[in-house]
Amino acid sequence: MTIGKFRIHREGYKIIGGVFFTLIALNTAGWLIWQGPSIWHYAGLAATLLLLAFVVMFFRTPARPVEPDPLLIYAPADGKIVVIEETFEKEYFKDNRLQISIFMSPFNMHSNRYPISGTVTYTNYQPGKKFHARSPKSSVLNERSSIVVTSESGTGILVRQVAGAMARRIVTYSRNGEGVKQGDELGFIKFGSRVDIFLPTDTEVDVEMFQQVRASRTIIARVI
Protein backbone atom coordinates (compact mmCIF):
# COMPACT_ATOMS: atom_id res chain seq x y z
CA MET A 1 0.00 0.00 0.00
CA THR A 2 1.32 3.44 -0.93
CA ILE A 3 0.16 6.74 0.60
CA GLY A 4 1.88 9.44 -1.44
CA LYS A 5 5.57 8.48 -1.14
CA PHE A 6 4.92 6.56 2.10
CA ARG A 7 4.68 2.80 1.56
CA ILE A 8 3.15 0.36 4.03
CA HIS A 9 4.35 -3.24 4.04
CA ARG A 10 1.75 -5.89 3.21
CA GLU A 11 2.54 -7.70 6.47
CA GLY A 12 0.99 -4.75 8.30
CA TYR A 13 -2.38 -4.51 6.52
CA LYS A 14 -4.35 -6.73 8.91
CA ILE A 15 -2.61 -5.49 12.05
CA ILE A 16 -3.06 -1.82 11.17
CA GLY A 17 -6.72 -2.45 10.28
CA GLY A 18 -7.31 -4.32 13.52
CA VAL A 19 -5.66 -1.61 15.61
CA PHE A 20 -7.60 1.12 13.78
CA PHE A 21 -11.03 -0.42 14.39
CA THR A 22 -10.17 -1.35 17.99
CA LEU A 23 -9.16 2.23 18.73
CA ILE A 24 -12.38 3.54 17.16
CA ALA A 25 -14.35 1.21 19.43
CA LEU A 26 -12.41 2.32 22.52
CA ASN A 27 -12.84 6.00 21.74
CA THR A 28 -16.55 5.53 21.08
CA ALA A 29 -16.91 3.70 24.40
CA GLY A 30 -15.04 6.52 26.14
CA TRP A 31 -17.36 9.11 24.60
CA LEU A 32 -20.38 7.20 25.88
CA ILE A 33 -18.91 6.65 29.36
CA TRP A 34 -17.99 10.32 29.84
CA GLN A 35 -21.21 11.37 28.06
CA GLY A 36 -19.52 13.70 25.61
CA PRO A 37 -16.17 15.46 25.35
CA SER A 38 -13.98 15.73 28.43
CA ILE A 39 -10.30 16.10 29.21
CA TRP A 40 -10.07 12.33 29.67
CA HIS A 41 -11.68 11.67 26.32
CA TYR A 42 -9.27 13.99 24.53
CA ALA A 43 -6.30 12.50 26.39
CA GLY A 44 -7.41 9.01 25.37
CA LEU A 45 -7.89 10.12 21.78
CA ALA A 46 -4.38 11.59 21.66
CA ALA A 47 -2.88 8.40 23.11
CA THR A 48 -4.70 6.17 20.63
CA LEU A 49 -3.63 8.34 17.69
CA LEU A 50 0.00 8.07 18.84
CA LEU A 51 -0.35 4.30 19.10
CA LEU A 52 -1.84 4.07 15.61
CA ALA A 53 0.94 6.30 14.22
CA PHE A 54 3.56 4.02 15.84
CA VAL A 55 2.03 0.87 14.32
CA VAL A 56 1.82 2.48 10.86
CA MET A 57 5.44 3.68 11.09
CA PHE A 58 6.58 0.22 12.19
CA PHE A 59 5.28 -1.28 8.95
CA ARG A 60 6.83 1.33 6.68
CA THR A 61 8.86 -0.09 3.80
CA PRO A 62 10.93 2.53 1.98
CA ALA A 63 12.07 1.84 -1.57
CA ARG A 64 15.83 1.28 -1.59
CA PRO A 65 16.98 0.27 -5.06
CA VAL A 66 20.50 -1.16 -5.28
CA GLU A 67 22.87 -1.44 -8.21
CA PRO A 68 24.21 -5.00 -7.58
CA ASP A 69 27.95 -5.22 -6.89
CA PRO A 70 29.51 -8.66 -6.27
CA LEU A 71 32.30 -7.13 -4.19
CA LEU A 72 30.02 -5.38 -1.69
CA ILE A 73 27.95 -6.81 1.16
CA TYR A 74 25.09 -4.58 2.27
CA ALA A 75 23.36 -4.53 5.64
CA PRO A 76 20.36 -6.89 5.60
CA ALA A 77 18.46 -4.79 8.17
CA ASP A 78 18.10 -1.36 9.74
CA GLY A 79 19.45 -1.04 13.26
CA LYS A 80 22.57 -0.98 15.42
CA ILE A 81 25.65 -3.20 15.12
CA VAL A 82 25.88 -5.21 18.37
CA VAL A 83 28.27 -8.04 17.40
CA ILE A 84 31.41 -8.19 15.26
CA GLU A 85 33.34 -11.34 16.05
CA GLU A 86 34.70 -14.59 14.69
CA THR A 87 32.57 -17.52 15.81
CA PHE A 88 31.91 -21.16 14.99
CA GLU A 89 28.77 -21.41 12.84
CA LYS A 90 27.37 -24.85 13.62
CA GLU A 91 24.07 -24.92 11.71
CA TYR A 92 25.19 -24.93 8.07
CA PHE A 93 28.85 -24.12 7.38
CA LYS A 94 30.18 -25.90 10.48
CA ASP A 95 33.35 -23.81 10.51
CA ASN A 96 34.59 -20.45 11.74
CA ARG A 97 32.75 -17.46 10.31
CA LEU A 98 32.76 -13.73 10.86
CA GLN A 99 29.49 -12.83 12.58
CA ILE A 100 27.96 -9.37 12.33
CA SER A 101 24.70 -8.83 14.22
CA ILE A 102 22.23 -5.96 13.84
CA PHE A 103 19.76 -5.17 16.62
CA MET A 104 16.44 -3.75 15.41
CA SER A 105 14.46 -1.70 17.92
CA PRO A 106 10.68 -1.31 17.51
CA PHE A 107 11.41 2.07 15.88
CA ASN A 108 13.49 0.63 13.04
CA MET A 109 12.18 -0.41 9.65
CA HIS A 110 11.76 -4.21 9.90
CA SER A 111 11.90 -5.34 6.28
CA ASN A 112 14.98 -7.55 5.74
CA ARG A 113 16.96 -7.44 2.48
CA TYR A 114 19.44 -9.71 0.67
CA PRO A 115 23.03 -8.52 1.31
CA ILE A 116 24.32 -10.11 -1.93
CA SER A 117 22.99 -11.50 -5.18
CA GLY A 118 23.05 -15.23 -5.84
CA THR A 119 21.07 -18.43 -5.33
CA VAL A 120 19.29 -19.49 -2.15
CA THR A 121 20.93 -22.79 -1.23
CA TYR A 122 19.48 -23.33 2.25
CA THR A 123 16.48 -22.27 4.32
CA ASN A 124 15.53 -23.45 7.79
CA TYR A 125 13.01 -22.23 10.35
CA GLN A 126 13.35 -23.18 14.03
CA PRO A 127 10.93 -22.30 16.83
CA GLY A 128 12.51 -21.17 20.07
CA LYS A 129 12.46 -18.98 23.16
CA LYS A 130 12.00 -15.23 23.59
CA PHE A 131 15.29 -13.96 25.05
CA HIS A 132 16.05 -10.29 24.47
CA ALA A 133 17.49 -9.85 20.98
CA ARG A 134 20.65 -8.19 22.35
CA SER A 135 21.53 -11.36 24.25
CA PRO A 136 24.21 -13.55 22.56
CA LYS A 137 22.19 -16.71 23.29
CA SER A 138 19.22 -15.37 21.32
CA SER A 139 21.02 -16.32 18.10
CA VAL A 140 20.91 -20.03 18.95
CA LEU A 141 17.96 -20.34 21.36
CA ASN A 142 15.30 -17.94 20.07
CA GLU A 143 12.84 -18.46 17.25
CA ARG A 144 14.87 -17.98 14.09
CA SER A 145 15.00 -18.46 10.34
CA SER A 146 18.26 -19.07 8.48
CA ILE A 147 18.88 -18.39 4.78
CA VAL A 148 22.08 -19.12 2.87
CA VAL A 149 22.76 -17.23 -0.36
CA THR A 150 25.60 -18.42 -2.59
CA SER A 151 27.01 -15.94 -5.10
CA GLU A 152 28.11 -16.78 -8.66
CA SER A 153 31.72 -16.85 -7.41
CA GLY A 154 30.80 -19.51 -4.83
CA THR A 155 30.85 -17.26 -1.74
CA GLY A 156 28.23 -18.39 0.74
CA ILE A 157 26.63 -16.04 3.28
CA LEU A 158 24.17 -17.05 5.98
CA VAL A 159 21.53 -14.53 7.08
CA ARG A 160 19.64 -15.40 10.26
CA GLN A 161 16.45 -13.64 11.30
CA VAL A 162 16.15 -13.85 15.09
CA ALA A 163 12.99 -13.07 17.06
CA GLY A 164 13.44 -10.94 20.16
CA ALA A 165 11.41 -10.57 23.35
CA MET A 166 8.76 -8.48 21.57
CA ALA A 167 8.77 -10.28 18.22
CA ARG A 168 5.67 -12.31 17.48
CA ARG A 169 6.30 -13.63 14.00
CA ILE A 170 9.19 -14.14 11.60
CA VAL A 171 8.25 -14.07 7.91
CA THR A 172 10.71 -15.46 5.36
CA TYR A 173 10.07 -15.29 1.62
CA SER A 174 13.20 -17.22 0.53
CA ARG A 175 12.83 -20.53 -1.30
CA ASN A 176 15.57 -23.06 -2.00
CA GLY A 177 16.94 -22.84 -5.51
CA GLU A 178 15.61 -19.38 -6.36
CA GLY A 179 17.83 -16.67 -7.74
CA VAL A 180 17.85 -13.47 -5.70
CA LYS A 181 19.10 -9.95 -6.26
CA GLN A 182 21.07 -7.82 -3.83
CA GLY A 183 18.66 -5.44 -2.07
CA ASP A 184 15.51 -7.49 -2.71
CA GLU A 185 13.35 -8.35 0.29
CA LEU A 186 13.99 -11.69 2.00
CA GLY A 187 11.50 -11.35 4.85
CA PHE A 188 10.03 -9.35 7.72
CA ILE A 189 10.09 -9.61 11.52
CA LYS A 190 7.12 -8.24 13.44
CA PHE A 191 8.34 -6.06 16.32
CA GLY A 192 11.76 -5.94 18.10
CA SER A 193 14.37 -8.41 16.84
CA ARG A 194 17.81 -8.86 15.29
CA VAL A 195 19.51 -10.16 12.15
CA ASP A 196 22.81 -12.07 12.17
CA ILE A 197 24.98 -12.41 9.09
CA PHE A 198 27.80 -14.97 8.85
CA LEU A 199 30.60 -14.17 6.40
CA PRO A 200 33.87 -15.84 5.36
CA THR A 201 36.61 -14.98 7.87
CA ASP A 202 38.72 -13.20 5.25
CA THR A 203 35.96 -10.66 4.55
CA GLU A 204 36.93 -7.02 5.06
CA VAL A 205 34.58 -5.46 7.64
CA ASP A 206 33.38 -1.93 6.84
CA VAL A 207 31.40 -1.11 10.02
CA GLU A 208 32.08 -0.56 13.72
CA MET A 209 30.40 -1.64 16.95
CA PHE A 210 27.24 0.33 17.81
CA GLN A 211 27.13 1.94 14.38
CA GLN A 212 23.66 2.62 13.01
CA VAL A 213 23.13 0.92 9.66
CA ARG A 214 20.39 0.84 7.03
CA ALA A 215 19.35 -2.14 4.92
CA SER A 216 20.51 -1.91 1.29
CA ARG A 217 22.25 1.39 2.04
CA THR A 218 25.11 0.67 4.45
CA ILE A 219 28.03 -1.42 3.18
CA ILE A 220 28.95 -3.68 6.10
CA ALA A 221 31.74 -5.65 4.41
CA ARG A 222 33.70 -6.16 1.21
CA VAL A 223 34.73 -9.35 -0.55
CA ILE A 224 38.52 -9.60 -0.81
> How many other CB atoms sit within 10 Å of the CB of residue 166?
15
**Most distant CA pair in the chain, distance:** 70
Distance of CA 78 to the CA centre of its chain: 7
Distance separating alpha carbons of residues 27 and 25, to the nearest angstrom:
6
Instruction: Exactly one of 101, 117, 193, 216 is catalytic; name it.
Output: 193
For the question of residue 38 being annotated catalytic, the response is no
Residues acting as catalytic residues: 193
